[in-house]
A and B are shown apart, each in its own frame.
Chain A
Amino acid sequence: MAANPITESGLDLSWLNLYDDPASAVPGKKGLTLKEINLGRYGDAARGAGDMTYRMRGAVARPGAQRFGPTYMSKSDVWSENCVMLYEEATQRQWSSARDIPWDTLQTLPDEIERAMCQLCTMLTEVEFIAGDVPGQWMPFVSSQDFEAGLFLMSQIMDEARHTDVFRKRALANGGGLLAQGAGLGLRTLLEARDFTEMSVLMHVQAEGFVQSMFRMGELIGQTDADKKIFRMSAQDESRHLAFGVMHLKYVLDTEPERREELHHYLDKAEGDAAGGGSGDVTFPPVFESLCILLGGGVDKFDEGLQKFLLLRKRQINEYVHRLTVAGLGDRRDRLGPLMAQFVDPI
């Protein structure tokens, strides 16, 4: 019987002589992070051209390696200068909806308040569903040359699963249940994107930005310590997703300024769709009404809630404009859709 090539072959050992520049990354204050190994020919600054294989940056190309289908070839297509740090932060700040939320602090709430909270959670469950699918959709197109961006997106997929589960848990843990499905939440826009940067500016910057602004009002929306902690922990995660998007947009505008009008075009469409509500639209009536009830403190305080809701919208829009300005798209202020423009503070 011929030798089994799996285990018996004439020795080659050529792989022992592939490089002569030993790498010895040293752990920093936060352990051995991606930052410490981002060195020399392995660093993002030494990124070579993508080859549509899954060759990790710095690995030696294999003759005969097959392609795996189209991936982005240019760093600016997916890169964000903070993705190295954000991935490590994500690993350090994972939390458990099962054990880190003080579920025992839930207390029976007036029926209308519980229903409002459950309606909000029903909507947020849907929003977070899509926020997990969207980065998944783009992962196969992220070149391994920019693997840190890919790692970050994989951590985001985990975060969004946790967000989906925590809002479902909240809806089913305090004598309530799920209520009406959202409609016209603008979520399909995120799946319809046909470019990574289009997706990122719509999802990370706009949609997650709006959600983040809302979560940061969680102290007003939440009725119990458990509710408030859910919003706090989720906001912490959303901050990373948002930061990735802002810095990706900045990277694109810095390195490919000719794309500015194209990016405005995506936002023109998105701000127009859902009449300015954006993705994860809180102006959808059941969400709008439930937020007004929660912010006001009851159906009989709906008007107080409405005023706080308008403050929330104002905050969402102004923070959105600020983030775009940080990314280098400050001129967006003058092009906002009418339902957003009404809230912008004068300079």
Chain B
Amino acid sequence: MTAKALADAAAGSQPAEIPQEARDKARELGWEDGLIELALEKGHSLQVVWQALRGNVDGKQAKDFLAGGEAMVRDFAWMKVPTEWGIRARASDSEMGLTIGDLNVGTYGDIPDVWTNRSEIARGSFPNPVNEDMGYTIFDKAIIWADCVVPLYEVAIRDRWVSATDLRWASLEELPDDMERAVCQFLTEQSDRAYFTGALWSGWLPEISYGYHELKFFLSTVIYDLARHSEAFRKRALSNGGGLGLQAPTDFSRAAKEARSFPELAAILFVQDSMLLTLFKNGDLIAQNQLERDMYALVARDRQRMMDYHIERMKHFLFKMPDRRDEQNLYLSKAEGRMVKDWADPVVSEPLALMLGGGRDQMDPGQDKLRALRKLQVEGYVADLAKATFFRTHLNGRFQELLA
């Protein structure tokens, strides 16, 4: 760096007081008292002085330079850190483009079983010798990981949709009052649940360390999906002569909120997410028009990704930590019990029965169809658990009755 360059760079800067932090750093580096002032008098900006201090220019170098010596030579030590170099990641699937999976080459693709760095370091970069602890609490791959998050992250981005413009709002036609109220009550509950679950997952993000950034990316898409579901349901409830009804029951959601660990959280949400996936996959049964059919189909597509994660995570977790298999029964029992309580609420079941039956005067056949739908949901849930290599020995009695 030449003196002229420094002087030029300083031009236009305002005179400023010298921060104590700069004085302390100068003392640490052996700068004589008054050397900072001398640099400023010679026209060097405070910023440039600060950069010299941050660059660990010692007192002798600084003094020599200010006495008219040669420009200081920078060693650019960061250019020489021993990370893997020469990486040219390429898209393995031209339709998907350059995915995060394509980056997992060489050491950059080494996803460790235990991540030990407590900072926000990017996996594969060169660590500082000393770092502040950023407060992460989850460092075990076995607890959180599923290989599918790597491709699912990019699929989620590819399959994004926009409630404002991808649903044909102008196509809505008036429904009978009881039917509109049923749709709106159902969507009030679902909007509430989606928003809550998005907020819940969000709160867990800062707990997860950055050895597993692909998982954090994937969870970000889940959170964003849930935001969209919440607002799409609200929009539908407020656009066709209805309104928001009674807020959702709180028993199941409280169980999820009460989770004290990631495996507990995931086990509890496994129950809800499996049940809701089946519900929305069968959205045609409750949809009253094309807009609702489209909306439920899009929601189901998003929810399939969430469920794929749940299944693979649990399978991986049980494989890696078989001693924790029985413990999962505790969380699943709690979640099933709370779900039964929510399902038994007439404000949850009756709107579904009304939609399935076709009106208020068709509640009996509607309840028959609801029983069939609930059976389908529980069958799907048991099948999802089986895919995760988990077999419930004591499925909730009410669920068991549905399967009988």
Cβ < 8 Å to A, chain B residues 197-254: 198-200, 202-206, 210, 213, 216-217, 220-221, 223-224, 226-228, 230-231, 234-235, 237-251, 253-254
Give every chain B residue within 8 A of A155 (Cβ-Cβ): 224, 227
A60 touches B244 (CB 8 A): yes
Given contacts A60-B245, A60-B246, contact A6 B81 (CB under 8 A): no
Q: Is the CB of B243 within 8 A of A9?
A: no
User: Whole-angstrom distance from the CB of B199 to the nearest CB of chain A?
Assistant: 4
Instruction: Report 9 cross-chain contacts, Cβ distance below 8 Å, ordered by A residue.
Output: A7-B353, A13-B346, A54-B195, A56-B192, A129-B216, A169-B98, A178-B125, A187-B134, A339-B16
Q: Which residues of A line the B interface, CB within 8 A? A: 1, 4-9, 11-16, 18-19, 21-27, 30-34, 36-37, 39, 42, 53-56, 58-62, 64-66, 68-69, 87-88, 91-92, 94, 96-99, 101, 103, 112, 115, 119, 122, 125-126, 129-130, 132-137, 139-140, 142, 144, 147, 150-151, 153-155, 157-158, 160-162, 164-165, 168-169, 171-181, 183, 187-188, 191, 272, 275-276, 283-286, 288-290, 299, 302-303, 306-307, 310, 313-314, 337-339, 341-344, 346
**Contacts A147-B195, A157-B205 known; A103 to B50 CB distance under 8 Å?**
no
* Chain B 1-23 interface residues, beta-carbon cutoff 8 Å to A: 1-2, 5-6, 8-10, 12-19, 21-22
- Enumerate chain B residues within 8 angstroms of A165, measured Cβ to Cβ: 100, 153, 217
CA distance A151 to B196 in the complex (A): 11
B15 shortest CB reach to chain A, Å: 7
* Interface 9-mer from B159-167, B313-321, B382-390: B159-167
| A5:B14 contact, CB within 8 angstroms | no
Assess whether A22 is in contact with B243, with CB atoms less than 8 Å apart: yes
Partner of B192, one of A7, A54, A99, A175: A54
Query: Among the listed B78, B122, B205, B254, which residue makes an inter-chain contact with A68, where contact means beta carbons less than 8 Å apart?
Result: B254
B332 within 8 A of A: no
**A138 to B322, alpha carbons, bound, how many Å?**
34
Complex contacts, A130 vs chain B, CB 8 Å: 120, 134
Query: Total contacts A to B, CB within 8 angstroms?
Result: 426
Given that A37-B238, A283-B51, A307-B8 are contacting pairs, would A169 and B247 also be in contact in the complex, using a CB cutoff of 8 Å?
A: no
Q: Are A4 and B181 in contact (CB under 8 A)?
A: no
Assess whether A15 is in contact with B185, with CB atoms less than 8 Å apart: yes
7 closest A-B pairs by beta carbon, nearest first, are A98-B97, A303-B5, A31-B164, A139-B202, A136-B205, A161-B220, A286-B78
Chain B binding surface, main DSSP class: helix
When the two chains form their complex, are residues B164 and A55 in contact, meaning their CB atoms are under 8 A apart? no
A216: shortest Cβ distance to chain B, in Å? 20
Residues of A within 8 A of B122 (CB): 122, 125-126, 129, 168, 178, 181
Are A54 and B241 in contact, CB atoms less than 8 angstroms apart?
no
Chain A residues near B301 (CB, 8 Å)?
Answer: none
Contacts of A275 in B (CB 8 A): 19, 21-22, 50
Q: Which residue of A lies closest to B188 (CB)?
A: A59
Chain A residues with CB under 8 Å of B238's CB are 23-25, 37, 39, 42
Point out the residues of chain B lying under 8 angstroms from A103, CB to CB: 91, 97-98
Tell which of A23, A62, A69, A187 touches B257, judged by Cβ atoms closer than 8 Å.
Answer: A69
Using Cβ atoms and an 8 Å threshold, which residues of chain A touch B246? 15, 18, 59-60, 62
C-alpha gap A285/B50 in the complex (Å): 10
Q: Is B220 a contact partner of A37 (Cβ separation < 8 A)? A: no
Q: Which of A7, A97, A161, A191 interacts with B367 by CB under 8 Å? A: A7
- How far is B193's CA from A241's CA once the two chains are assembled, in angstroms? 26
In the complex, the answer to whether A101 meets B47 with C-beta atoms within 8 Å is: no
Chain B residue with the shortest CB-CB distance to A71 = B199
For B226, what are the chain A residues with a Cβ–Cβ distance below 8 Å? Answer: 154
Inter-subunit contact A154/B198 (CB<8 Å): yes
Q: Which residue of A lies closest to B236 (CB)?
A: A32
Asked if residues B54 and A180 are in contact (CB atoms below 8 Å), the reply is no
Neighbouring B residues of A119 by C-beta, 8 Å: 78-79
Question: B360 on the interface (CB 8 Å rule)?
Answer: yes
Please determine whether B78 and A179 come into contact, CB atoms closer than 8 angstroms: yes
Whole-angstrom distance from the CB of B241 to the nearest CB of chain A?
4
Flag if A59 contacts B350 (CB, 8 Å): no
The reply to whether B86 and A137 form a contact with Cβ atoms under 8 Å apart is no
Shortest Cβ distance from residue B234 to the other chain A in the assembled complex, whole angstroms: 6
Whether A8 touches B162, Cβ cut-off 8 Å, given contacts A65-B247, A179-B83, A338-B17, is: no
Known contacts A1-B401, A140-B203: does B213 contact A129 (CB below 8 Å)? yes
Question: Are B216 and A161 interface neighbours, CB within 8 A?
Answer: yes
- State A175–B120 Cα separation when bound (angstroms): 24
Residue of B nearest to A111 (CB): B79
Query: Across the two chains, which residue of chain A brings its CB closest to B12?
Result: A314
Q: What is the bound-complex CA distance between A342 and B241, given in angstroms? A: 59
Contacts A22-B243, A125-B122, A126-B122 given; does A16 touch B195 at CB 8 Å: no
A338 near B202 with CB under 8 A, answer no
The chain B residue sitting closest to A124, CB to CB, is B122
CA distance A7 to B348 in the complex (A): 10
B249 to chain A: closest residue by CB: A62
Contact of A55 among B54, B86, B192 (CB under 8 A): B192
Chain A residues contacting B158 (CB-CB under 8 Å) are 96, 98-99
